[in-house]
Structure 1
Amino acid sequence: MLRYIFAIALATILSCCSGGRYSAEIEYVLELAGDNRTELETVLNHYSTNKDDSMKLRAAEFLIINMPGKYTEEYDAPWEDVAAALYRWYDIKDKDSLLHSHGIGKPHIKEDVKHISAKYLIDNIDRSFDSWDKAPWKEQIDFETFCEEILPYRIGHEPLENWRQKATMTFSDLQKFFDTNPDITIAEACSMVNRLLPRFTWVTYPVPPMNYSMCMATPRGTCDEMCALAMFAMRALAIPVTRDFTPAWPNSTGGHAWNSVYIGDGKHTSFMGTEYAPGEEHLGTRLKKAKVYRDDFASTTDVSDEYNDCRYSASVPVDKSYGNSEIHLLSAGKRATTSVAITNAENDTARFRNIGKDILYAPAVLINGQYNIVGHPFMMEASGRINVLSGNNGYELLEIKDIGFEQSMLFRMQGGVFEGADNADFSDRKVLYTITDIPTAAFSRVRIPDCNKYRYVRYVAPNGANGNVAEIMFYDDAGHKLSGQCIGTAGSWYNSGSTCDKVFDGDVYTAFDAPQGYGDYAWAGLDLGHKSTIAEISYHPRIEDCRPVEGRTYEIFGLINGSHELIGRFKAHGQSIEASLPGNTPLYIRDTVRDMESYRYFIIRNGKQIWL
């Protein structure tokens, strides 16, 4: 995901010269175009004949100069067949047969520079300027921002279409509203459009690049597709919107993308396309991250300093052998290590600006495709202090009660719904609360604004989640925990005993796991016996039991000198492990019986186990 592409400054773009000669930048692209050269020249000539089109000519030059590397990725099969085949991608073992049954082969790549038409580019440029000229906020948008965040004819690698015309027609009522309300702000306009976009179903399977029509017809995809739809709709209405992203979450190979809208005076405000308005909290602002980058048409730029939690700087020593080399900053998780930034070392020191806090990092060099750590790992603390984990603080005695296995079931509550009803069959159900984000491996407690009283309450898990939830507690408006008779989907996964009553047993290490064939929208709830106000709900997701097992041997490793070294083997007594371990060192634990390891590193701080 991470790319370091440097922008070609607009100021250096030279217009077509008289006598049919072009600037070196444009001539380079025209040569790449081959037989499609005449199409690109048609665009340039179209805007060269009238001096009133000088701005449009500059816009055309901008698009053409930055066209190399842009392409369409598409299948021969109709989109509905592609979408249908991908709907249960991870549930089908024989993927080749799945693709064959829908007539889907391999995607085709069509480079824009060799295939784009003059008609398409001219129409895109004209419509972009038309919408910009009409926008009440036109004077707040400089030409560079216009070129990067309104003008581009594509978002990613989607099949090209006349998306500006379609989106303008779809939101023509909003366009009229904007025309008659000159005081509306860019952020307000962005919020209005975002509220009208279809709600997306998040998926984790690979989704082909989708254009505007595909996103509107099939609102199912990853954060990238959600961002794309917002950009299509808003750019068509001259709302300058782009895509921000973090290359990878800490300790993960996966990153996340969201949108950012330009609000004037050189400032952007982030939001999540199809979900959250500008200024509202979303995953990109709530979760900790190492760096943030912005994808524009001409470049990918570092915008970490626009996010409050990414304004820290660190100067760290590196191995003298690489004292003046290109140094990568690794987000050094136990499960995944990802390069999130690059700098040039000077005098055996690497300085990284605008990085996130409370994340484990390590300086490294890239040699033959492999990262070699060339300095001590370090933590950037919220105070701005750099905690270099050099492992030179001696040994400390630690009581370990948590092995730190990966909690892979948390996502199964995202999209789950709490409902209240007066009828036992929930035919009159009302939604009390919807879990929109993946919860943490802890209790979450939420206020319920609904003041009505209900006899029956329940949690309905999302499709495919098998009803997974560990604990639920309902509270009345006096703060009293409500009790009642357990009701819900009967049975358990292969008669494991993980029935719906486990949701109310007070033990976070037991959970409801619905029987095979009943995993979609399985539910667990209570018959309260009388009507009661539901003022608060507390819930805990299904988790992996991370407690040590009596008598079992565990191995503990440390990240020392860039590699994992065995510290020792220790036997659990009761549900804890007592071990003497090196301080100021990233550590992890291996269960020798289950052959499972800690999901994250931990360190010892003030005699306690602190997970990184």
Structure 2
Amino acid sequence: MNTKILICLIVLFSACSFNKDKQIEYALDLAGENRPELERVLLHYQDEPEKLAAARFLIRNMPRWYGYEGPLLDSIRPVLVQGARNLFIPKVDVAKWQGVSFYSSVRKTDVQTMTACYLIENIDLAFEVYRKYSWNRNLPFGEFCELILPYRIGDEPLTAWRRMYYERYVPLLDSLYPNGTDVVEACRILAGELKKESYYYNTDFSLPRLGGEFLLDNRIGYCRESCDITTYAMRACGIPVAIDFYSYSPEYQQGHMWSVVRDTTGRFLPFWYTQFEASREMKDDGRKKGKVYRYCFGIQPEPIAGITVATAVPSFFKNRFIRDVTNNYSGTNEVPVPLWKNREPLAYLGVFNRGEWIPIDIAKNEGGEVIFRNVEPDNIYMPVGKDGHELVPVGDPFILVKDSLRFLRPDTTRLDIVRLVRKMPLMPLFRNIQKDLIGGRFEAACRRDFKDAILLYEITDTLQSNLIEVVPLHQGQFRYMRYVAPPDYRLELAELAIYSDRDAVQPIELLPLPEMMPVYNPEDLTDGNILTYINLRDSSCAIGFDMGKLTSVGKISFSPRNDDNFVWAGDEYELFYFSGIEGWKSLGKQTAKGRELYYRVPHNSLLWLRNLTKGKEEQVFFAENGEQVFGHEINYRY
């Protein structure tokens, strides 16, 4: 939807908040020739007050919603179908479709295309499960409207998803949890069934949402699609759920979303059916969030009066269909931050992104101080404000540690020596992978069936680097080499090289054994590119290679799946510290001679390491006892 049109709608909705009939009338007027279809729904429920109120809620907010359709989206779907089936998309298809602008497809607005039959079926099925399950007995009607009733999630094409998911999952849930009363247990059971159905995590394409009908049998996408599948299935079964998200991580510079289920006590419990289940202990995947928001179907109040029409405010904060729910995760707090000088009337909570600051929260400038509310602790933040069209620092960077603030103000009279090993924190995904490799074994044999296999090396501890070089435990000559994954863990490796000498000068050509290489693109393991990797779909598996002839094995070199953000020998680096009003200052350039760098840095300073040779991912940190401290490490140190 055009931003100007959206703002006009929001302004109208806000102005008419005292009289919801005017909002209904506005939606009906906007429907144009489709008005009779919406009026037919209202007439249909004239003798059912609760369903009529639900219909009015949907129609009242309908001007906001639309979906994409068209030939481009029709053409990419067969590629996605095969990807979901094979858990793989060929590189030629990725190259063909990766640069296509799918958002140029036809956008169909709901008020002008919605049929009475579709809306009535959606409302009737939603009420059936709302009234059927005892866990909804005390679910407020307003929560029902947001968590079970909505007929769509985002910009997906409209399909009869609710009946499809109802027919597949309601009988299943009833058989597995007959007469169940605990909504969290029902959520766990259904999520467990969803997890049994394979899911291919893929981020190759920038697409509108795929829709319930497509996702019912084609489980492919990234976190958004896994949340959509969850939402369709759970709402079809009367389980009240929503999707929470953060727009930009204070840790690894991406957004993320996951599902939440409303407990009967009113708490929202996070879960992500492919990774972790709902728990009343609020367990999640450990990712840093900063600020958390929830997608809503109905329009939400402005957090600060007037910001929706303020031209200088970033568009994210004008979105009236999200709301701040950080307190559900971090509790409530107030973070008073002094500003350098009294600038604009609004200030923002910023997180780092390649030398810039991304705003994730907004607050009023109260005479040179801003109070941010409900902020996740143990992250590095920067207060920022508008300077023309740019967002610039307007105060000192800070860390919220428990109930206290630590400002990172450099003391240039006191220099500390710090050892640097990375320019970016290790994401939870890679931290887990490196831990999950414990127990992996490298074995050699003279027989192709490995019945005479000899252990050359076993991973016995969490890997601390993305390049591991080891000397084999046993000497001898061998023809075949294999890596065996730890029991019950998937096999994920980025690189493997075998050398006939201990100085790693004479590499041995590795020819994949087809019977032991159940993956696509096995060359990704030996292509010299640490960012490509193989990921075997089965656990307790192995990959094998033919070395061509009997040969000695002098050294094994391997890399787990990783982000390539460790310090590399030969690359040129530059370290900066934040000097307050003067901005970033360089502490000099170095060419790495090994896997670490050493710098003298001002005490209590915010630091930023750049690799001038390659790569774009970088994150700020500070030094403590001579070591780097990224955001995810703060809560372990204080």
| Offset from partner CA, 1:268-304 (integer Å, 9 cap, x none) | 1111134432119999541222011111211311111
Give the CA deviation at 1:554.
5.2
- Who is 2:37 aligned against? 39
Q: Are residue 320 (structure 1) and residue 341 (structure 2) matched? A: yes
CA contact (8 A) 2:416 2:603 kept: no
Is the alpha carbon distance of 1:561 and 1:61 closer, same or farther for their aligned partners in structure 2, counting shifts above 3 Å? same
Which residue in the other structure is 1:131 paired with?
Answer: 129
1:362 aligns with 2:388: no
One-letter amino acid of the structure 2 residue matched with residue 380 of structure 1: L
User: Do the aligned residues in 2 keep the contact of 1:190 with 1:278 (CA within 8 Å)?
Assistant: yes
1:400 counterpart letter in structure 2 = R
CA separation of 1:498 and 1:72: change in aligned 2, threshold 3 A:
farther
Shift of the 539–201 alpha-carbon distance from structure 1 to 2, 3 Å rule, reads: same
Give the CA deviation at 1:387: 1.2
| Cα distance between partner residues in 2 of 1:441 and 1:294 | 36
- Give the secondary structure class of the aligned counterpart of 1:286: coil
Given candidates 374, 388, 391, the residue that maps to 2:394 is 374
For the residues of structure 1 that align with 2:12 and 2:227, how far apart are their CA atoms? 22
Task: Using the TM superposition, give the Cα deviation of residue 221 of structure 1 relative to its aligned residue in structure 2, in angstroms.
Answer: 0.4
CA distance in 1, matches of 2:145, 2:485: 48
Distance 1:153 1:403 in 2: 46
Report SS of the residue matched to 1:355: coil
Matches within 5 A, 1:198-347: 198-205=197-204, 206-279=206-279, 284-298=284-298, 299-308=321-330, 311-322=332-343, 325-334=345-354, 337-347=357-367
Kindly indicate whether the alpha-carbon contact (under 8 Å) linking 1:229 and 1:273 is maintained by their aligned counterparts in 2. no
Corresponding residue SS for 1:137: helix
Equivalence for 2:306: none
Q: Give the superposition deviation at 1:525.
A: 7.3
Give the residue type in structure 2 aligned to 1:569.
G
Give 1:584's match in structure 2, choosing from 596, 599, 604. Answer: 604
Greater Cα shift, 580-589 or 59-68: 580-589
- What is the CA distance between 1:241 and its match in structure 2? 0.8
- Of 125-134 and 393-402, deviating more is 393-402
> TM-score under structure 1 normalisation?
0.72
**Corresponding residue SS for 2:71:** coil
Q: Does 1:76 align with 2:71?
A: yes
- CA-CA distance at 1:399 after TM superposition: 4.3
Q: Which of 172, 175, 182 is 1:174 aligned to?
A: 172
Q: How far is 1:208 from its partner?
A: 3.3
CA distance in 2, matches of 1:336, 1:202: 29
Q: CA deviation at 1:168?
A: 1.4
Comparing 244-253 with 565-574, greater Cα deviation is found at: 565-574
Against the structure 1 CA distance between its residues 441 and 307, is the aligned structure 2 distance closer, same or farther, given a 3 Å change threshold?
farther
Summarize the alignment of residues 102-113 of structure 1 with structure 2, pairs less than 5 Å apart: 106-113=104-111
Q: 1:560/1:6 Cα in 2 relative to 1: closer, same or farther (>3 Å)?
A: farther
Kindly provide the amino acid, as one letter, of the partner of residue 416 in structure 2. Answer: L
CA distance 1:496–1:283, change in 2 (3 Å): farther
- Partner of 2:137, secondary structure, is helix
Q: Provide the residue aligned with 2:567 in structure 1.
A: 546
Asked if the contact 1:186–1:263 (Cα under 8 Å) also holds between the matched residues in 2, the reply is yes
**1:483 aligned residue:** none
Aligned twin of 1:458: 484
2:190 to 174, 181, 193: 193
Distance apart, 1:204 and its partner CA = 1.6
| Distance in 1 of aligned mates of 2:35 and 2:74 | 30
Greater alpha carbon shift after TM alignment, 360-369 vs 397-406? 397-406
1:498 and 1:513 in contact (8 A); partners too: no
Compared CA separation, residues 149 and 105, structure 1 to 2 (3 A): closer
Give the letter for the 1:376 counterpart. D
What is the rounded CA distance, in whole Å, between the counterparts of 1:357 and 1:237 in structure 2?
36
Amino acid at match of 2:421: D
Q: Would the alpha carbon gap of residues 564 and 228 (structure 1) be closer, same or farther in structure 2, given more than 3 Å must change?
A: same
Secondary structure of the structure 2 residue equivalent to 1:294:
strand
What does 1:520-535 correspond to in 2, within 5 Å? none
Matches within 5 A, 1:378-417: 378-381=398-401, 383-392=402-411, 394-402=413-421, 404=423
Deviations 1:8-39 (A, max 9, x none): 89x96867xxxxxxx11111212222222222
Q: 1:330 to 1:256 in 2, by over 3 A?
A: same
> Pairwise mapping of residues 143-182 of structure 1 onto structure 2 (< 5 A)?
143-174=141-172, 176-177=174-175, 181-182=178-179
Q: Secondary structure at the match of 1:59?
A: helix
Are the equivalent residues in 1 in contact too, given 2:412–2:602 (CA < 8 A)?
yes
In structure 2, the CA distance between the partners of 1:214 and 1:391, relative to structure 1 (3 Å rule), is same
Given that 2:609 and 2:619 are in contact with CA atoms closer than 8 Å, whether structure 1 keeps it comes out as no
Distance 1:155 1:403, change over 3 A: closer
Partner of 2:584: 565
Higher mean alpha-carbon deviation, 384-393 vs 265-274, is at 384-393
> Do 2:565 and 2:617's aligned partners in 1 also have CA atoms closer than 8 Å?
no
Across the aligned residues of Structure 1 and Structure 2, the Cα RMSD in angstroms comes to 4.7
> Structure 1 residue 342: deviation in Å?
0.7
Instruction: Report the secondary structure of 2:409's partner residue.
Output: coil
Q: Is 1:514 matched up with 2:548?
A: no
Write the distance in 2 (CA, Å) between the matches of 1:599 and 1:265.
41
Taking structure 1 as reference, are residues 403 and 165 closer, same or farther at Cα in structure 2, changes over 3 Å only? Answer: closer
Q: CA deviation at 1:117?
A: 1.1
Displacement of 1:353 after TM fit?
A: 1.4
Equivalent position SS for 1:229: helix
Listed as ranges, the matches of 1:80-95 within 5 Å are 81-84=76-79, 87=83, 88=89, 95=96
Q: Which runs of 5+ in 1 are unaligned?
A: 16-22, 428-437, 445-454, 472-485, 502-511, 528-537
The answer on whether the counterparts of 1:319 and 1:348 sit within 8 Å (CA) in structure 2 is yes
* CA displacement at 1:569 relative to structure 2: 2.8
Going from structure 1 to structure 2, the CA distance change for 1:426 and 1:162 (only over 3 Å counts) comes to farther
Gaps of 5+ in 2: 1-5, 84-88, 299-320, 452-461, 469-480, 512-523, 537-541, 547-557, 632-638
- Cα distance 1:562–1:279, how it changes in 2: closer, same or farther (>3 A)? farther
Secondary structure of the structure 2 residue equivalent to 1:124: helix
Distance 1:459 1:567 in 2: 44
Check if 1:57 corresponds to 2:38: no
Distance 2:110 2:463 in 1: 42
Between the aligned partners of 2:374 and 2:74, the Cα distance in structure 1 is: 42
SS at match of 1:123: helix
Spell out, residue by residue over 1:588-610, the C-alpha distance to the aligned partner (whole angstroms, 9 max, x if none).
34456x36688222323344443
Query: Are the counterparts in 1 of residues 493 and 561 from structure 2 also a CA contact under 8 Å?
Result: no
Counterpart secondary structure, 1:320: coil
Query: Is the Cα contact below 8 Å between 1:470 and 1:541 reproduced in 2?
Result: no
C-alpha contact (below 8 Å) 1:168/1:175 kept by paired residues = no
Is the Cα contact below 8 Å between 2:68 and 2:103 reproduced in 1?
A: no
- CA deviation digits over 1:283-341, x for unaligned, max 9? 95412220111112113111111114x6553210113332x711111112446632111
**Which moved further from structure 2: 218-227 or 80-89?**
80-89
Does the Cα contact within 8 Å between 1:567 and 1:581 map onto a contact in 2? no
The 3-state SS of whatever aligns with 1:273 is: coil
